[in-house]
Structures are given as structure tokens and as C-alpha cells.
């Protein structure tokens, strides 16, 4: 019997307990005086709460036991299996042990038909039986706990028992636990990035990483290989990221996004807005991998042909311009919606005042609305930059992997995100500097986008409050 | 002072040529500005149209395949299948183990020189046919099998035949074979069943999208199962119960920032925590689902809070007034009223998760998986990752497969977003 089955049985048991206890609660209420507002016989809680109270006592302790058991069971079973192997052929190191156990599991699940290691076949039988035994023990313990919890909960049901208060306390704790997931996730991101980055900075100095201008994380197949260490100067990656995400993409996205927002909010008749706005939203909903495919298949060759027609002989098929252009188009809806919000937040009185003075609509927009909305627009643009530099698929597919420090948009540059993908998708040992450098890059990316976001959100918030 | 000044200034002569020119200039710049705005919108929209047209133009033929008719003889001796075993209880296993490649070789040999036009994986079709209908054992039947990719592309007119052999990507021999077969009536172009029902393959003509679709569905199933309850519960807590203190502020700041963290960072988190620390299986939908759930739940929390906030306080006051507890008010009155808004936000978050590629690359879901994934822990890939993998493939036949896969992905996204819009329009209430 697997743990999943036991859990389902427990839930079923809790359901049965619920109906029993609810019946008891209903019986309490049905006694003379049971439904009175006050008095000795008045029931505090509705029958459903009595039911839920007992059901929680049946399920929660037993499920907690099972969860704890699930966390350690594989290890305990593995110990049993290893112990059953004759001492002389027992796997010695941690690595051998893991390999042996995965082979045993492979035989049990039927993925491997014939084991490489002759000891694995008898061990597989030990694995099955000991796992079954332990599951049975865990199931029995859980059943006992469920019964105990259920009996104790049931024994507490009295007319004056505050079952609702108890159940609501559990609900509140569930709510708090759910909210803590956000903090745990943030903590998980920070800690995992920091932990791996520190390991990287033990191998490569942090100064070299942040100021070096040569990036070539050589494939480190063997530690003693010549040139296996590679060079980890990340400045070319930072430049490439800024060049594509903060310069080229923004040159495309800011004018187009801003003008689109101005047209939608100030000029477009209601009917046109109803058609055009969802169109922009569709543009925002297209997956980035589709943009990447489009950039690589259509835009990059066109950019290359254009460069050749300009007389550049060494134009590469992967260029900063192709990736930046497509990324800019991807960002348009984002800039547009932020600018839309900022412009709509400007008080109508300012607009009316300007129009009443005889200014045309465009003069009002240029001289009154946009200056007034500028903080909000700038905040939106910063958020857009943070999105653009964190964008991965477009640059992976269209920007290339050559770490060039160039301001020539027709040349290939690489970005932080493209390098992270490149570094982590090969088959690499996890301890090599090459693999760990991806986490250091991730940490830099995380810190930069975090600062941008916090600052931009603060700007936008202050701006909104100014007009409230 | 002011009145004295304006009194001393001569009245503006609006009809003077100078003022007329000035007004004309201002109106002109007004119309230029206005048209610039329209131009920006039209440019963005036309890009979208261009993108969709390109994908459909390149991709629609990916749903078609070129088949070649051969006559296959399911000779038990060649297959190495005992006819008795094929009728026994383990018939399917016995048939599966047959040597279909030998049957294929024998059948294709009848085509003579044109045998080269048949896909090298065509024996899979024979195996499926025999396993579907074991009675065919020992018989000779005509079968349509997929042509190899070059022939397929040739039939779809993807090559410029006026170019010299070396530039056009297809050899004279292939063209001759194709024309022979066509003359003999052994070629047809029809609906590509393999693409809709199969999984990834190294041969474009045998590659299918179903495996990646199932992988995506399994991943999204895990994502929804985790992100929806956690997201809704946190939204309820933050909006209805949380006291204003440092912890609450920390939670709010975390959620707002998590919603803006680049998706690839979640991939790094998944790699470091789920794969390396908890030792979960690589390439598995459960890890992908967990990673995407962490990414999606801030979106659900934010949408949920907006929806809960829009429920008017009078509802709460009324329920509290007749004696409901705070928890009862929230779960029996506020939550049902806020649910359409929460669901809309959830679907939009799930649509984003469906299109997400980078985090899945980090946790190894870019592996070559030639089987439809069977469970939450078996190796799988996802639709957007499949698009990425195929777009990276050098084989020319994958270009149309990539576009076709994008079409499938976009159809799913369209369905999800339409559902969200439908829910919003149907249940949205103005208080």
C-alpha cells in the first residue's frame, strides 16, 4: 500500500468522522432548549462545525505523521537494501550508493529489465518487501493516530463546546501558512542564488567577475585539462544586456508605446479603443519563445541583408539589432499600459484648463499631460527595462553567444540570461566554476531587477498619491 | 495693473494672414501628432498580424504529411512472432517485440530505386497497424507510410526547382524518385496523424506534438493544484485578516517583487532547490509544475486581492450584522462573490505559465523525449520548449513543424484567454 493510498483512505475516514460528529451536533441541537439563545442546554456551534472539528482531529495528526514518514522513508528503505547486500560487494561511496539505488528502483518500476550490477536483482526484492513492510507500519501508526484523534475530538462535543472557534483557528493558521509561501519563495531565491554564488566566488574572485572584460567559460571536461578554468569577466555580458534590453528595445518601445497610449486615451473613439486595446493585449500574451522564433527566422536575416546592403561584409546572422527590435515590440504593450495608467491619473481639471485656454489637443498632451504624468511614465519605463533585461528566449534564439563589447548593432552580443541558459543546459558537473557562474549571473540579474522594480514602484506610487 | 495692460494692448486680429498661418501651423502639427499616435498603434497591430500570418503560412502544411503506398507482408517468420503467442493473453507484448524493420525492408524493396523515398521510421506505422488489428498477421496488405522529410517538403513545393542541384537542398535522385512514385499513383498528401498523436523524434516526418501537449497539461495541472489554493488563501488573508504590521508589509513587498522577478530566476531556484537539494527527478512535470506554481501564485494573489477588494463592505456588514463570524463572512459571502474575478486572474496566470520556456529549460525539460509522458515523474517536455527545440534543429523539415507547434500553442492560449474574457463578461458585477 503506497503512501498516496493511505492518505486517500485517511481523507475518507475523516469524511466518515465528519458525518458522525455532525449527526451528534445535530442531536445536541435537537434536545429541548438546544436552539435557545442562552441557557445551559444552548448549543454554541452549528452541527457542521462539530463535524469539521472531529474530521480535522482525524486527518491532521495522521497526515502530519505520514508527511514526516514520507520525508525519511526512502533513506530508511535504502539503508535496509544496502544492508542486505553482501558486505564485500556493498557500494562504498555516496555516489556508488546512489547509482546502486537508482538501479534497484529502475528494476522495481520495470524501467530496467536486466541490471548491470548482479547484486541489484536480489536487492530489488528486498526493496519491495521492506518498502511494503514500512508502509504497512506507517499506515498502522497513522490509523491509530487517526482513531485516537477522532475519539478525543468526539469526546469533547458538548452543547457549550466552541467547535466553530476551534475550526476557525485552524482556518486562520492555514491562511497564514499560505501567505508565508511568498516569503519562503523570496528567501529560497535569495538563499539558493547566494549559496551557489559564494561557492563560485571561492573559485573566481568577485572583482574579476564584476570588472573583467573577457568572458569565455571553457568547457571543463576534466579538471586538469589545459584552459579548463576559463575567463569569467562578465562586463561584456552586462553590456550586451544593457545594449539589447535598455537601449535598442527601449528606442523601439518608448516612442511606440507612449504614442499608442496617447492615441488610445486621448483620440481614439470608444469603438476603436474596444478593438485596438485587446489587440495590444494579445501582443502581450504571445509567448516569448514565439517572438524568439520570429526574431531568428524572419527579423535576423532581414537585418543581416540590410547590413550587407550597407556594405558590411562581416555582418553576422545573429545581431543585437534583431533581438532588440523584437524585444522592443514585445515591450510595447507593457509601456503603453503603464503610460495609459499614468496619463489617465492626471486630473481632468488640468486638461480642461489647458483646452479652455485655447490649446489644441496635441498641445495639451505635450505641454500639460505628459509633463504632469512624467514620473508615472518614467516608473513604467523602468519596469519595462527590468522586464527586458530579464527576458530570456528572444536573446537565446536571436542574439547569439559571442561575448563582444561592441556598440555596433549589427554584430552579435550576448546577454546575462542567454549565458545562464547556455551554461546550465549542457551536461556539466555541478561543482565546476562554469556551472556555478550561472548562479552568480542570476544573482546579479536578480539584484538589478529587484532594485529597478522597487525604485520604479516607489516612483509610480508617489506619483499616484500626488494626484489623489 | 492687469486690466490696464490688457486695455492698452490692441485686440488680436484673428483674420490677419499672420494669425491664419499660425493657426494653420498649429492645426497641422495637431493632425501630425494624432496620426503619429495612430501610426504607432497600426505598426504594433500590423506586427502582430505579420507574425501570425508568417506562422500560419509556414505552419499549416505541418499538419499535412506525404504518404507512400507500400504493400506490407506480415509474415510471422520474418517478424519472429509465434502465431500462437499472438493470439494468447500477451498478444500485444508479443506483437510489439516483432522485427518490423525486417518487414519494412522487404516491403520497401519492392519499390526498387524509389525505396529511398520512404521514411526510415516507417516501420512504426506497420507495428501500430498490426497491434491494432492482430488478424492481419500472415496477410499482405497495402499500407500508407510516411515519406522521408525531403520528399515530404518536395511534395509541398518547398524547394525552388529552378536552382542548380547544389543550392536547392534536394537531390536529383530524390526528385526522380518522387516523380516515379507520383506517376504510379503511390503518393498522397493527407492529414498528418503522426503530428497530432506522436511525440518528439529526430526525423521531422515522424515528430509529433502530442507528447509535448501532454507534458504541458501535466505541468499545468500541478501548477494549478498548488498555485490556486495557496494564491487564493494568501489573498484572503492579506485582504481580510492581516493586521498592519511589519510581517504583513514583508509579505506584500515579497509578493509584489515576486510578480516582477524574471522567469529564468525561478528556473535557477527550481534547479538549486527541487533538483539539487530535494533530489527530485530531472525533466519531470512535477518539478516544472512546482517551479511554475511559484511563478504563478503572486499573479493569482494580486488578482485575488483586487477581486476581494471590489466586493462592497455592505455585504460584509450585513452578514456580520446577523451574527456570522468573520471567517463565515469571508468564506460564505465574500469569496463566492469574488470568485469570477479570481478565476479570471488565475486563467491569465495559467496562460502565462503555459507559454513560459526559460524556467523549464533550467530544470531539464529540454530533454529529447520520444514517448508521451505517462505520469508526473516521467521525463517530459512542454509545448513552448518543444517549439524551442525544433527551432534549434538543423533539419529543414522542422521549420514547418515549429510553426505548426506554435499554432497549437497559440490555439491553447486563445482558448484560455477567451474563457477568461467570457467569465469576466458573464459574471462581472458592478456594485
State the average pLDDT over residues B17-33.
92
CB contact under 8 A, B34 and A450: no
Interface test with B, best of A37, A185, A190, A457 (most B CBs within 10 A): A185
Query: Tell me, what's the pLDDT at A229?
Result: 57
Flag the least confident range among B52-66, B215-229, B303-317: B52-66
How does residue A115 score in pLDDT terms, banded at 50, 70 and 90? low
Average pLDDT of span A405-426: 86
Q: Which residues of B touch A4 (CB under 8 A)?
A: none
A312-329 mean pLDDT: 86
Interface touch A290/B387, C-beta < 8 Å: yes
List, in order, residues 6 or more apart from B198 with CB less than 8 Å away. B206, B207, B208, B209, B210, B211
Cβ of B40 within 8 Å of Cβ of A256? The answer is: yes
| Confidence at residue B256, expressed as pLDDT on a 0 to 100 scale | 87
pLDDT in tens, A325-346: 999 999 999 999 999 989 988 9
Identify each DSSP E strand in A218-373 by its residue range.
Answer: 231-232
Residue A196 forms contact with B (CB below 8 Å): yes
**Reported confidence tier of residue B1, pLDDT bands at 50, 70, 90:** very low
Q: Taking CB atoms and an 8 Å limit, are A365 and B33 in contact across chains? A: yes
How far, CA to CA in Å, does A118 sit from each of A9, A89, A105, A128?
Answer: 38, 10, 14, 17
Place of cell 561543482: A431
Judging contacts by C-beta atoms under 8 Å, the chain A residues touching residue B250 are: 183
pLDDT above 60 for A220: no
Strand-by-strand arrangement of the B140-146 sheet:
B140-146, B64-73, B187-191
Nearest to A293 among B233, B366, B387 (CB): B387
Identify all chain A residues contacting B229, using CB atoms and an 8 Å cutoff: 178
Q: Which residues contact A236 (CB under 8 A, 6 or more apart)?
A: A213, A214, A215, A403, A404, A405, A413, A414
DSSP-derived secondary structure for A266-304: II--HHHHHHHHHHHHHHHHS-HHHHHHHIIIIIHHHHH
Touching A: B residues 48-77, CB under 8 Å: 48, 51, 54-55, 58
Q: Is B257 on the interface with A (CB under 8 A)?
A: yes
More confident of the two residues A226 and B57: B57
C-alpha torsion sign, points B322, B325, B326, B331:
negative
Residue in B103, B167, B265 with CA at minimum distance from that of residue A450? B265
Residue A426, pLDDT score: 66
What percentage of chain A carries pLDDT values higher than 70?
92
**A394-408, A419-433, B219-233: range with highest mean pLDDT:** B219-233
pLDDT at B398 over 80: yes
Burial B400-430 (b: 16+ CB within 10 A, else e): bbbbbbbbbbbebbeebbeebeebbeeeeee
**pLDDT tier for residue A371 given thresholds of 50, 70 and 90:** very high
The more confidently predicted of residues A220 and A70 is: A70
Residues of A in contact with B276 (CB under 8 A): 430
Is the pLDDT reported for residue A226 higher than 70? no
Higher pLDDT, A320 or A120: A320
Q: Taking Cα atoms as reference points, which of A199, A162, A332, A369 lies closest to residue A258?
A: A332
Average pLDDT, chain B: 86
Q: Output the pLDDT for position A326.
A: 94
Q: Do A179 and B237 touch (CB under 8 A)?
A: yes
Asked if A337 and A377 touch (Cβ cutoff 8 Å), the reply is: no
Q: What is the pLDDT of residues A267-312, one digit of tens each?
A: 989 888 888 888 888 888 899 999 999 998 889 889 888 888 888 7
Q: Are strands B64-73 and A215-216 parallel, antiparallel or unpaired?
A: unpaired
pLDDT tens digit sequence for B250-283: 888 889 889 889 999 999 999 988 888 887 888 8
List of residues 6+ apart from A307 with CB closer than 8 A: A315, A319, A410
Mean pLDDT is lowest, of B28-42, B99-113, B195-209, B219-233, for B99-113
C-alpha cell at position A388: 527586458
Q: Min CA distance, B399 vs chain A (Å)?
A: 9
**Structure letter (DSSP) for residue B312:** -
Confidence of residue A430 (pLDDT cuts 50, 70, 90): low
CB of B181 within 8 A of CB of B175? Answer: no
Find residue B190's DSSP bridge partners.
Answer: B65
Mean pLDDT of A137-150: 89
A76-88 mean pLDDT: 78
Q: Evaluate whether B397 touches B153 at the Cβ level (below 8 Å).
A: yes
Average pLDDT, chain A: 85
Q: pLDDT tens, B126-136?
A: 888 888 887 77
Answer yes or no: do B273 and A192 touch at CB < 8 A: yes
- Of the listed ranges A174-183, A258-267, B159-168, the one predicted with least confidence: B159-168
- Cβ atoms of B143 and B69 closer than 8 Å: yes
- Each residue of A202-218: pLDDT tens digit? 888 888 888 888 887 76
Cα–Cα dist A215/A233, whole Å:
5
What is the arithmetic mean of pLDDT over B169-183?
Answer: 80
Q: Nearest CA of chain A to the CA of B386: how many Å?
A: 10
**Residue owning grid cell 493569482:** B300
Chain B residues inside the 8 Å CB shell of A294: 51, 54-55
Return the sign of the alpha-carbon dihedral for residues A457, A460, A461, A462: positive
Spatial separation of the C-alpha atoms in residues A10 and A18, rounded to whole Å? 12
Report the predicted TM-score, pTM, of the whole model to 2 decimal places. Answer: 0.87
Q: Determine the average pLDDT of the residues in B302-330.
A: 92
Who contacts B414 (Cβ-Cβ below 8 Å, separation ≥6)? none
- What is d(CA B214, CA A352) in angstroms, rounded to the nearest whole number? 56
With contacts defined as CB-CB under 8 Å, which chain A residues touch B237? 175-176, 178-179
Q: Indicate the pairing of strand B140-146 with strand A231-232.
A: unpaired
pLDDT digits (tens, 9 = 90+) for B98-119: 788 888 888 877 777 777 778 8
Amino acid at each position: 500500500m503506497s503512501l498516496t493510498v493511505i492518505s486517500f483512505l485517511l481523507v475518507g475516514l475523516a469524511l466518515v468522522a465528519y458525518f458522525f460528529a455532525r449527526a451528534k451536533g445535530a442531536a445536541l441541537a435537537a434536545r429541548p432548549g438546544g436552539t435557545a439563545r442562552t441557557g445551559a442546554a444552548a448549543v454554541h456551534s452549528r452541527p457542521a462545525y462539530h463535524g469539521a472539528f472531529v474530521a480535522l482531529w482525524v486527518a491532521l495528526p495522521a497526515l502530519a505523521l505520514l508527511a514526516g514518514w514520507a520525508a525519511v522513508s526512502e533513506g530508511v528503505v535504502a539503508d535496509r537494501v544496502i544492508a542486505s547486500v553482501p558486505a564485500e560487494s556493498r557500494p562504498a561511496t555516496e555516489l556508488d550508493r546512489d547509482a546502486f539505488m537508482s538501479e534497484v528502483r529502475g528494476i522495481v518500476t520495470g524501467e530496467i529489465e536486466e541490471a548491470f550490477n548482479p547484486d541489484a536483482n536480489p536487492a530489488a526484492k528486498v526493496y519491495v518487501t521492506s518498502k511494503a513492510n514500512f508502509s504497512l507500519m506507517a499506515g498502522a501508526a497513522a490509523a491509530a493516530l487517526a482513531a485516537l484523534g477522532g475519539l478525543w475530538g468526539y469526546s469533547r462535543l458538548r452543547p457549550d463546546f466552541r467547535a466553530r472557534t476551534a475550526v476557525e483557528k485552524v482556518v486562520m493558521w492555514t491562511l497564514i501558512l499560505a501567505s508565508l509561501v511568498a516569503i519562503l519563495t523570496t528567501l529560497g531565491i535569495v538563499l539558493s542564488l547566494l549559496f551557489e554564488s559564494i561557492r563560485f566566488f571561492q573559485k573566481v574572485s568577485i572583482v574579476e567577475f564584476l570588472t573583467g572584460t573577457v568572458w569565455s567559460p571553457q568547457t571543463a571536461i576534466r579538471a586538469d585539462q589545459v584552459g579548463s578554468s576559463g575567463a569569467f569577466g562578465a562586463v561584456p555580458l552586462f553590456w550586451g544586456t544593457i545594449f539589447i534590453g535598455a537601449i535598442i528595445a527601449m528606442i523601439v518601445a518608448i516612442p511606440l508605446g507612449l504614442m499608442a497610449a496617447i492615441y488610445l486615451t486621448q483620440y481614439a473613439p470608444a469603438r476603436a479603443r474596444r478593438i485596438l486595446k485587446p489587440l495590444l493585449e494579445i501582443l502581450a500574451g504571445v509567448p516569448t519563445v514565439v517572438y524568439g522564433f520570429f526574431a531568428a527566422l524572419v527579423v535576423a536575416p532581414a537585418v543581416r541583408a540590410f547590413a550587407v546592403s550597407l556594405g558590411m561584409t562581416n555582418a553576422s546572422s545573429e545581431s543585437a539589432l534583431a533581438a532588440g527590435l523584437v524585444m522592443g515590440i514585445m515591450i510595447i504593450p507593457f509601456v503603453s499600459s503603464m503610460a495609459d495608467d499614468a496619463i489617465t491619473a492626471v486630473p481632468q481639471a488640468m486638461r480642461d484648463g489647458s483646452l479652455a485656454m485655447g490649446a489644441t489637443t496635441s498641445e495639451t498632451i505635450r505641454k500639460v499631460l505628459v509633463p504632469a504624468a512624467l514620473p508615472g511614465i518614467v516608473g513604467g519605463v523602468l519596469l519595462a527595462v527590468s522586464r527586458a533585461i530579464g527576458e530570456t528566449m528572444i536573446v537565446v534564439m536571436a542574439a547569439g553567444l559571442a561575448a563582444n563589447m561592441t556598440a555596433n548593432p549589427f554584430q552579435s552580443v550576448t546577454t546575462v540570461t542567454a549565458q545562464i541558459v547556455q551554461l546550465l543546459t549542457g551536461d556539466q558537473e555541478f561543482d565546476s566554476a562554469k556551472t556555478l557562474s550561472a548562479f552568480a549571473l542570476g544573482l546579479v540579474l536578480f539584484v538589478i531587477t529587484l532594485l529597478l522594480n522597487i525604485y520604479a514602484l516607489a516612483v509610480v506610487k508617489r506619483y499616484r498619491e500626488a494626484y489623489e | 495693473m492687469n486690466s490696464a495692460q490688457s486695455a492698452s494692448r490692441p485686440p488680436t486680429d484673428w483674420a490677419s494672414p499672420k494669425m491664419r498661418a499660425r493657426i494653420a501651423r498649429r492645426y497641422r502639427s495637431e493632425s501630425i501628432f494624432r496620426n503619429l499616435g495612430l501610426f504607432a498603434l497600426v505598426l504594433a497591430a500590423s506586427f502582430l498580424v505579420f507574425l501570425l500570418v508568417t506562422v500560419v503560412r509556414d505552419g499549416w502544411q505541418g499538419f499535412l504529411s506525404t504518404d507512400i503506398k507500400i504493400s506490407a507482408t506480415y509474415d510471422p517468420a520474418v517478424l519472429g512472432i509465434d502465431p500462437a503467442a499472438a493470439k494468447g493473453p500477451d498478444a500485444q507484448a508479443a506483437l510489439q517485440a516483432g522485427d518490423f524493420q525486417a518487414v519494412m525492408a522487404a516491403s520497401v524493396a519492392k519499390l526498387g530505386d524509389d525505396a529511398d523515398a520512404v521514411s526510415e521510421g516507417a516501420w512504426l506505422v506497420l507495428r501500430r497497424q498490426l497491434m491494432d488489428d492482430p488478424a492481419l498477421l500472415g496477410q499482405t496488405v497495402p499500407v500508407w507510410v510516411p515519406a522521408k522529410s525531403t520528399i515530404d517538403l518536395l511534395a509541398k513545393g518547398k524547394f525552388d526547382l529552378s536552382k542548380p542541384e547544389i543550392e536547392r537542398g534536394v537531390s536529383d535522385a530524390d526528385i526522380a524518385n518522387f516523380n516515379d512514385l507520383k506517376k504510379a499513383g503511390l503518393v498522397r498528401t493527407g492529414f498528418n496523424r503522426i503530428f497530432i498523436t506522436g511525440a518528439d523524434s529526430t526525423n521531422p516526418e515522424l515528430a509529433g506534438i502530442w507528447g509535448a501537449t501532454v507534458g504541458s497539461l501535466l505541468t499545468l495541472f500541478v501548477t494549478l493544484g498548488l498555485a490556486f489554493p495557496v494564491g487564493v488563501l494568501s489573498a484572503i488573508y492579506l485582504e481580510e485578516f492581516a493586521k498592519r504590521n511589519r510581517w504583513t508589509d514583508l509579505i506584500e513587498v515579497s509578493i509584489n517583487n515576486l510578480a516582477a522577478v524574471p522567469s529564468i530566476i525561478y528556473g535557477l531556484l527550481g534547479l538549486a532547490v527541487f533538483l539539487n537539494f530535494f533530489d527530485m527527478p530531472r525533466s519531470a512535470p512535477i518539478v516544472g509544475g512546482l517551479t511554475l506554481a511559484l511563478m504563478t501564485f503572486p499573479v493569482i494573489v494580486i488578482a485575488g486581492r483586487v477581486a476581494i477588494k471590489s466586493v462592497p463592505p455592505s455585504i460584509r456588514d450585513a452578514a456580520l450584522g446577523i451574527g456570522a463570524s468573520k471567517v463565515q463572512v469571508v468564506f460564505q459571502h465574500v469569496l463566492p462573490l469574488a470568485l469570477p474575478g479570481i478565476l479570471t486572474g488565475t486563467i491569465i496566470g495559467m496562460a502565462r505559465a503555459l507559454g513560459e520556456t526559460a524556467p523549464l529549460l533550467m530544470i531539464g525539460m529540454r530533454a529529447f523525449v520520444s514517448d508521451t509522458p505517462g505520469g508526473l515523474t516521467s521525463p517530459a517536455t512542454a509545448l513552448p520548449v518543444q517549439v524551442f527545440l525544433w527551432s534549434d534543429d538543423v533539419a529543414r523539415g522542422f521549420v514547418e513543424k515549429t510553426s505548426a507547434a506554435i499554432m497549437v500553442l497559440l490555439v491553447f492560449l486563445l482558448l484560455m484567454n477567451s474563457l477568461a474574457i467570457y467569465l469576466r463578461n458573464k459574471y462581472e458585477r458592478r456594485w
